[in-house]
Structure 1
């Protein structure tokens, strides 16, 4: 029996600037040659790499993928990928550059240079490739330049007067390397290399400042530098240990009103080390859980004992048997989300039901948002040693 499958184009099929676009035949290349001819030329590499890369795209609809081309023509898949990546950059540059200006990249080695510019935008590639041409850079130097440009873009805040010109981006790299090294000789050499490349006065001034002799510290500054330093840590909320939450009762028998009335433990002080329990809190059992982000952001967290986690399989997606604790948030803001929730349904008044994300809540009143289901560690057997194994979201 013959079976057919619907063809689905790959992602970026209609994007002319995507890497996949380089694998599609270009109508301007003229009619495709027979597959045997293209494979023979690929095996001998008798044409420029730009032509060979287009052969790869023209062979795809004929049933020759990269593995087949490697087997038949002997061109490694890694080299095929290099050609296609370089062709994508070449095609992008050809939109704003004359073919004669790009001919020097059609020779062996040009593909490696252009491939290094794959992560740059079209606006970044144009000045970068002209800078590469002017300085006769090889593939390794082009890689350093491309990374320097991306680093300049990623660097937030003050860029110390370095412009987005390729030379300044490269000089900025040397500037950063110079101030980050502890070797004074290496620092001066890096600053000198950057100074030779910088083109804007502000960039040259920043690099020149690194080469100026440092003034001798005053006796007070020298004495302060020798004083021992006390390590200071800026704590995050999740570093503060645990959070107390009341146990409202068993999931199967707790009334919605009981869960809504759960008290909230309030931490006081800069480190929340003093916990204030409201009046009537002695009527509840309390449990301390690690201050995970979901628990730290909860308004009024509470717990419900679950005798057997497998009974929640339909609602929570957990089939593991054994006791557990269903952690919920009964705060006012918990009704805003569309996640897992506990509701009081009209069909089961006075009881709790699990509502999945996206389910119709018609006829049901919100009680609490479900944060997670946690199970105790299996200390006796040594299993479930990781936090991720204790949670079932």
Structure 2
């Protein structure tokens, strides 16, 4: 007989499943109570939300000088009409009047300041503020205090750093408005001229070098030698700041008396400008030239048949030619071609190797346009370049000395400029040593 006290089953560990008893070895004390799931929406945020405090509206500080802030509309108009103060002090009154509903014509009627001058005053005042924030020398700023708004207006498109350097250069060289405009354009244009001849010799951080490079580049658009070329080089030398730039220009000036033979028997110096056309250069040019285009494959027949006279007429500048032609090109009014009135023609070559390149130089196989003056056919200058027709080879560009040795006295025309196509990535222009 079993003893209840010793064999009593632990009922707490017995469970019934389908009429059978099973023993659960795990005591109740080891069971964890089943927790009720909590919605995520009830879980508090780990970061307490910051209380949004009410921020009252604070208007921006008035751009007007303190002595003008208390003036009413009539008083502000009186200040502008009588120019009471320095220009950069009363210039902020103009946009303040715009905010009150005034228009440029109404301000002009009340003050005598034209709409163009209003715009120049406002922009120049902003440029001056940027110079002040750039810690520009007070003596430089004082130079523009009386009537310098026209000068500061011309450098408006430059960055703050460039404005400070340009303003210093304007003061040191006593430039007028046209000079300041040329300076600003030269600084903006300098990076886009990467790859031009001697570009790396001029320093971008020096405004004088940028202006000097512009004059230097313009000098190469004139005949060599010529008074225009020498004059442009002298202007470039006057404004150049770096020694490298001065050395390049001085060397160019010293070589204007004539080319010298080098050790390899090659005449030093390019006698015809070779220009890489820039994207958008035609649209930005103040003067353009329209010329008939001939294909080199047609040889001399097209050159002889191309229109001789092409000019613009009327108020709209309608281009009129003496005969019909199927191919035309518009080029900037560079000095070598702007003077072409009658006889100018362009020959399109698919390969630049028609030019007299040195054979020991790697040349680019690219299309070029050769602009020639058919009014000057005589082979007169040894260092000149002429458009000729060679039997079995078609049209070519030859040096005058080579033609004289062959007994050729007349060409199809004198080459005045060679145009290379625009490129997205600028490369080196034709160097002096590239020519034979």
* TM-score bin (small chain): 0.3 to 0.5
Compare CA radii of gyration and give the structure with the larger one: 2
What TM-score, normalized to structure 2? Answer: 0.43
Structure number with higher relative contact order (C-alpha < 8 Å, ≥ 6 residues apart): 2
Structure that is richer in helix per residue: 1
